[in-house]
Amino acid sequence: MPTTNPMPYEILKGTNKLIAPDIPARLNGDEPAVAIMQDFTKESPCTIEAHGSLNDAKHIMQTNHTAFLLVVNHAGNCLGVLTLKDVLGKKAMSVAHEMGAHLGDLQAKDIMQANECVVSVRLEDLQHATVAQVMATFHRAGVEYMLISQSSAEAGELRGLISASKTAERLNQPYYSNEKARTFSDIVHAVHGHFN
């Protein structure tokens, strides 16, 4: 059996400076929109299985410092999205009440925003857009996140994600969501004050 030689090593001396991640540079609205996309070919998105509990969702969000999860089936295909607002807001309590269940019994699939209600932009369009156009799209669509889709020979694929709040932060601008109700259930919750 061949022997593998160890790498050279040493014992640390004194105090050592920690290297911090590069702080993303400030943006201006004229820059290419692809600069703000979380590209799934370079950084995997945070996910939760459709049957995962809301406690699991909170734990994944806390561990990964994110407020957004893709909800996936057993094959890893995206079924929808789950935001921290969905998990901690009144929506979860309202859905639990409607189902006659305890909050702890809810699964990600119970309160996720299904794909049919999620705004997406084609990668081909994003490649020809500016950051300012992306922010205008966020305001028009009334959403806080957009998924980036790309076409393939087999079917549509999700290529990335853009966050309105992270983009606004890099633009050094406030972002106020005017999130819109997308389903009949959302409208009922909004009218009765159960949607947050």
Q: Determine, yes or no, domain membership for 26.
A: no
| Sequence-distant contacts of 182-185: CB under 8 A, at least 24 apart | 182/113, 182/117, 183/117
pLDDT at residue 183, as a whole number: 52
What are the residues facing 32 on neighbouring strands? Answer: 130
Positive or negative, the CA dihedral 112, 115, 120, 123 is positive
Q: Could you give the CA distance from residue 113 to residue 132 in angstroms, rounded to a whole number?
A: 26
pLDDT at residue 20, as a whole number: 73
Q: Determine, yes or no, domain membership for 161.
A: yes
Q: What is the pLDDT of residues 74-116, one digit of tens each?
A: 999 999 999 999 999 899 999 999 999 998 899 999 999 999 9
**Which pair of tokens denotes residue 11?**
């014992």
0.85 exceeded by the pTM? no
Query: Could you count the other beta carbons within 10 Å of the beta carbon of residue 176?
Result: 8
Q: List C-alpha distances in Å: 82 to 11, 24, 97, 180.
A: 45, 25, 19, 16
Q: Determine, yes or no, domain membership for 25.
A: no
pLDDT at residue 195, as a whole number: 41
Q: Determine, yes or no, domain membership for 28.
A: no
Q: Could you give the CA distance from residue 39 to residue 150 in angstroms, rounded to a whole number?
A: 12
pLDDT at residue 178, as a whole number: 60
pLDDT at residue 11, as a whole number: 80
Its domain, for residue 98, covers 33-192
pLDDT at residue 23, as a whole number: 65
pLDDT at residue 196, as a whole number: 40
Q: Determine, yes or no, domain membership for 162.
A: yes
| Residues of the chain where predicted confidence (pLDDT) is lower than 50 | 182, 187, 189-196
Q: Determine, yes or no, domain membership for 24.
A: no
Q: How many domains does the chain have?
A: 1
Q: Determine, yes or no, domain membership for 11.
A: no
* CATH classification of the domain holding 58: 3.10.580.10
pLDDT at residue 174, as a whole number: 79
Q: Determine, yes or no, domain membership for 3.
A: no
